[in-house]
């Protein structure tokens, strides 16, 4: 039996040294040590030649060896099959990944964010409000009582269920709500979607986006309004851009003005965007009417303020020469992707 024990020890060393890093070697190992004609089987065959009083001891040694041989097989199986999968995929982890199609922000979003950013630098906070509004906050509080002819300037969608409800025609409703809160001074801009009952064409749509602004404090003057908007124009369209104010009428401001900028497309020499005048209108503005302040519970003897309102589509048109309003809502990728690196 001494000889067999020595042989088992030799097999142990052989097993330890046996390379099993791939499926072929693993199979070779299995056949050699665990197969029907393998080492383990033949050693069990030796049992016959062992004297009866040593059979028990030999049996223990054999079982121990068998477990040892099997354990190596099991462990090696794990590693060998895994390396086989990665070998089969031929995976090169250093290769660049599949390209991911990244969308781009909508031009209206880009320009709106830019407007917000510019006014943010002047200390204006963003305020938000409902798109379905009541008559008071959209019209009456803003000096536009029922039957006021100026309501015709904003053709309105009313809501069936309640004659007092409508889709806001401007984001001035947010200004009304902020004024009613009474936390003075107020310095806000109100970006958002607004609705007007217009036939859809290149120059009109049933909805568009606005950014309106409101600044109320003691001693706010028209000079503050002009300087604020001049800063905005220079940041948005470039330092060479000039502005001009033309007297206008809005029920909620007095005096009121419309502001033009030198045409960004032709630089003032005349083109189709500026209708050969060299100027394009971009917003309405004025000093908040005292009645509006009073309607919202603000003492008009103590406080003054200015307000302005612009269409984001219009600013985008002037900045990028987009000549058809419908392009903004048609979702044509050929149009949209031109703005991926804009602003
Ligand atoms: N609310 C006006 C509109 O939508 C714009 C505006 C705002 C004009 C503030 C003057 C002052 O037409």
Domain membership flag for residue 101 = no
pLDDT for the residue numbered 134: 98
d(CA 338, ligand 1 centre) in Å: 30
User: Residue 102 domain-assigned?
Assistant: no
Residues 127, 214, single domain; the answer is yes
Q: Is residue 99 part of a domain?
A: no
The helix/strand/coil state of 207 is strand
Atom of ligand 1 at shortest range from CA of 212: 7
On whether both 143 and 221 belong to a single domain, the answer is yes
- Domain hosting 117: range is 107-339
Query: What integer pLDDT is reported at residue 309 of this predicted model?
Result: 98
Whole-angstrom distance, CA of residue 194 vs CA of residue 203: 16
Question: Alpha-carbon distance 269 to 88, whole Å?
Answer: 68
Residue 308 Cα, ligand 1 centroid: separation in angstroms?
6
pLDDT at 72 over 60: yes
Non-local CB neighbours of 48 within 8 Å, separated by 6+ positions? none
Distance CA 267, CA 264 (A): 5
**Domains held by the chain: number:** 2
Q: Is the confidence at residue 48, as pLDDT, over 60?
A: yes
Q: Using the mean position of ligand 1's atoms as its centre, give its distance from the Cα of residue 239 in Å.
A: 25
Looking at the structure, tell me whether residues 117 and 83 fall in a common domain: no
Tokens of 24: 């072929």
- For ligand 1, pick from 172, 225, 249, 293 the residue to mutate: most ligand atoms within 8 Å of CB: 172
Distance (Å, whole) CA 168 – CA 137? 9
pLDDT of residue 342: 56
- Which among 40, 61, 89 is the end of a domain? 89
**Mutation test residue for ligand 1: of 170, 196, 215, 251, the one with most atoms within 8 Å of CB:** 170
Query: What would the two tokens of residue 181 be?
Result: 């809160």
271 and 137 share one domain: yes
Please indicate, yes or no, whether residues 188 and 225 belong to a single structural domain of this protein: yes
pTM for this predicted structure: 0.72
d(CA 150, CA 242): 30
State the helix-helix crossing angle for 312-320 and 107-121, rounded to 10 degrees: 100
pLDDT in tens, 272-326: 889 999 999 999 999 999 999 999 999 999 999 999 999 999 999 999 999 899 9
- Residue 235 or 153, more confident: 235
Instruction: Say if 227 falls within a structural domain.
Output: yes
Q: Are residues 62 and 128 in the same domain?
A: no
- Average pLDDT across the chain, whole number: 93
Query: For a pocket test of ligand 1, which of 307, 310, 315 has the largest count of ligand atoms closer than 8 A to its C-beta?
Result: 307
What CATH number is given to the structural domain containing 128?
Answer: 3.30.930.10
Out of 56, 89, 122, a domain closes at 89
Q: Which atom of ligand 1 is nearest to the CA of 310?
A: 5
Residue 154 CA, closest ligand 1 atom number: 12
Same domain as 216, residue 184 = yes
Question: Which residue is associated with the tokens 């302005």?
Answer: 308
Mean pLDDT of 177-196: 98
The structure tokens listed for 316 are: 């985008």
Distance CA 43, CA 14 (A): 15
pLDDT at 272: 87
Which residues, at least 6 apart from 34, have a Cβ–Cβ distance to it below 8 Å?
A: 40, 69, 70, 73
H/E stretch holding 148 reads none
- pLDDT of res. 3: 85
In a domain, 154, yes or no: yes
Which tens digit of pLDDT belongs to each residue from 215-262?
999 999 999 999 999 999 999 999 999 999 999 999 999 999 999 999
119 token code pair: 């006014």
Q: Which of 89, 116, 133 is the last residue before a domain boundary?
A: 89
Q: Give yes or no: residues 163 and 58 share one domain.
A: no
Domain assignment present for residue 98? The answer is no
For ligand 1, the distance from its centroid to the CA atom of residue 155, given in whole angstroms, is: 14
- Distance separating alpha carbons of residues 321 and 42, to the nearest angstrom: 90
Tokens for 103?
């969308």
Same domain, 57 and 188: no
pLDDT the model gives residue 83:
59
Closest approach atom of ligand 1 to CA 284: 8
- Using CB distances shorter than 6 Å, the residues near ligand 1 are 170, 172, 212, 250, 253, 284-286, 307-309
Least confident of 85-89, 134-138, 152-156, 193-197: 85-89
On whether both 164 and 299 belong to a single domain, the answer is yes
**From the CA of 285, how far away is ligand 1's center (Å)?**
6
Do residue 111 and residue 83 come from a single domain? no
Nearest CA to ligand 1 atom 2: 309
Place of tokens 């008071």: 136
pLDDT at 36 over 60: yes
H helices of 267-306, where? 290-295
Question: Which atom from ligand 1 is nearest to the alpha carbon of 170?
Answer: 4
With respect to residue 100, please indicate whether it lies within any of the assigned structural domains: no
In a domain, 49, yes or no: yes
Q: Answer for the pair 252, 288: CB distance below 8 angstroms, yes or no.
A: yes
Q: What is the pLDDT of residue 164?
A: 96
**187 and 241 both lie in a single domain:** yes
Side-chain half-sphere CA neighbours of 56 within 13 A: 1
Give the pLDDT of residue 79: 77
Mutate-to-test residue for ligand 1 from 179, 252, 306, highest number of ligand atoms within 8 A of CB: 252
State the distance from the centre of ligand 1 to the C-alpha of 24, rounded, in angstroms: 81
| Cα distance between residue 196 and residue 206, in whole Å | 5
């Amino acid at each position: 039996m001494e000889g067999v024990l020595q042989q088992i020890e030799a097999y142990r060393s052989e097993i330890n040294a046996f390379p099993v890093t791939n499926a072929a070697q693993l199979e070779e190992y299995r056949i050699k040590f665990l197969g029907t004609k393998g080492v383990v089987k033949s050693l069990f065959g030796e049992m016959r030649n062992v004297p009866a009083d040593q059979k028990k001891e030999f049996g223990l040694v054999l079982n121990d060896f068998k477990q040892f041989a099997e354990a190596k097989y099991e462990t090696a199986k794990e590693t060998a099959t895994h390396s086989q999968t990665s070998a089969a995929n031929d995976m090169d982890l250093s290769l660049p990944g599949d390209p991911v199609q990244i969308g781009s922000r909508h031009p209206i979003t880009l320009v709106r964010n830019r407007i917000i950013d510019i006014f943010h630098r002047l200390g204006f906070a963003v305020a938000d409000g409902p798109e379905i509004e009541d008559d008071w906050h959209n019209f009456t509080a803003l000096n536009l009582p029922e039957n006021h002819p100026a309501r015709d300037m904003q053709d309105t969608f009313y809501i069936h269920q309640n004659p007092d409800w409508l889709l806001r025609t401007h984001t001035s409703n947010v200004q009304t709500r902020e004024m009613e809160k009474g936390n003075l001074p107020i310095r806000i801009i109100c970006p958002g979607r607004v609705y007007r009952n217009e036939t859809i064409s290149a120059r009109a749509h049933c909805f568009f986006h606005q950014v309106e602004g409101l600044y109320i404090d003691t001693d706010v003057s028209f000079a503050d309004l002009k300087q604020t908007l001049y800063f905005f124009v220079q940041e948005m369209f470039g330092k060479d851009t000039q502005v001009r104010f033309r007297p206008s009428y809005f029920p909620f401001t007095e005096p009121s003005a419309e502001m033009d900028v030198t045409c960004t497309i032709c630089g003032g020499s005349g083109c189709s965007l500026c209708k050969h005048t060299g100027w394009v209108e971009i917003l309405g503005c004025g000093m908040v009417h005292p009645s509006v302040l009073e309607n919202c519970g603000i003492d008009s003897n103590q406080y003054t303020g200015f307000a302005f309102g612009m269409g984001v589509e219009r600013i985008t048109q002037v900045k990028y020469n987009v000549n058809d309003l419908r392009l903004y809502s048609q979702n044509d990728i050929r149009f949209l992707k031109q703005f991926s690196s804009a602003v």
